[in-house]
């Protein structure tokens, strides 16, 4: 059976009319910022204080887009008679986002929690050479990292928190025992008041 002439046009117009009556779902960016999922991979933020310059992130990066420079510094002995120690001091930490493929391997391998995903995505540049961001910019992005999700109320207490809590409880108990003992020692050491007849 031959198709009715103009049936394709009628179907197209029906689709157009149907869409015209629905509310638009287009987000008017940049006037309205998008509502991003909590685990969005935007850029990588650096928490500089945790970085020990172990170079694991730079070595494991498949794109070789992380640049780290450091120098060694001698730390004096903490106690008399101890020996001096040397530690690495971070001089430069940069990521070339024109090469980065956002795989997240650097964040996963960091043993000291110095790298985090930030949902920040507005970092476009007019020149590709300006997409290499240094540590001060990475630190700014660190403050846009969302807080980790809350723990399950029925979950076990993390080992680190449990150990810290036990230590704090032992310290508080030791201080509570010392306080009454100190009061007794002070009362025993105080000279006795002379009696009426002894004066």
pLDDT of residue 48: 93
pLDDT of residue 29: 86
The residue assigned the tokens 């046009």 is 9
How far is residue 31 from each of residues 20, 26, 40, measured CA to CA in Å?
Answer: 23, 12, 20
The residue assigned the tokens 């986002």 is 97
* Token pair for 158: 């993390």
* Token pair for 70: 């450091």
Query: What letters, b where the CB count within 10 A reaches 16 and e where it falls short, cover 138-171?
Result: beebbeebeeeeeeeeeeeeeeeeeeeeeeeeee
pLDDT of residue 180: 65
* Token pair for 68: 């780290």
What letter does residue 198 receive in the DSSP assignment?
T
Of 111, 106, 110, 68, the C-alpha closest to 89 is 68
How far is residue 191 from each of residues 73, 186, 195, 196, measured CA to CA in Å?
Answer: 56, 10, 12, 16
pLDDT of residue 32: 87
DSSP SS3 for 177: helix
Task: In whole angstroms, give the CA distance from residue 163 to residue 6.
Answer: 78
Mean pLDDT score, 156-175: 89
Least confident of 2-6, 40-44, 124-128: 2-6
How far is residue 62 from each of residues 56, 116, 165, measured CA to CA in Å?
Answer: 12, 18, 41
pLDDT at residue 197 greater than cutoff 80: no
* Token pair for 183: 């009061």
How high is the mean pLDDT of the chain? 86
- pTM score, two decimals? 0.63
The residue assigned the tokens 């969302």 is 146
* Token pair for 190: 């105080």
pLDDT of residue 139: 94
Of the two residues 159 and 103, the one the predictor is more confident about is 103
Q: How confident is the model at residue 78 (pLDDT cuts 50, 70, 90)?
A: confident
Phi, psi of 68, deg, nearest 5: -130, 130
Of the two residues 123 and 4, the one the predictor is more confident about is 123
Mean pLDDT score, 93-108: 95
């Amino acid at each position: 059976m031959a198709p009715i002439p103009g049936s394709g046009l009628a179907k197209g117009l029906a689709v157009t009319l149907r869409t015209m009556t629905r509310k638009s779902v287009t987000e008017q960016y940049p006037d309205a910022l998008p509502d991003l999922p909590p685990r969005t991979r935007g850029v990588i933020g650096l928490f500089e204080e945790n970085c020990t310059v172990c170079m694991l992130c730079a070595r494991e990066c498949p794109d070789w887009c992380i640049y780290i420079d450091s120098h060694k510094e001698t730390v004096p002995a903490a106690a008399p008679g101890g020996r001096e120690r040397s530690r690495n001091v971070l001089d430069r930490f940069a990521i070339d986002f024109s090469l980065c493929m956002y795989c997240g391997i650097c964040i996963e391998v960091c043993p000291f929690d110095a790298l985090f995903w930030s949902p920040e995505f507005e970092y476009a540049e007019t020149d590709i050479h300006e997409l290499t961001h240094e540590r001060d910019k990475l630190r700014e992005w660190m403050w846009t990292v969302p807080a980790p999700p809350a723990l399950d109320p029925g979950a076990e207490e993390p080992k680190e928190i449990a150990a810290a809590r036990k230590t704090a409880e032992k310290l508080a108990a030791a201080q509570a025992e010392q306080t009454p003992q100190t009061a007794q020692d002070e009362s025993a050491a105080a000279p006795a008041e002379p009696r009426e007849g002894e004066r």
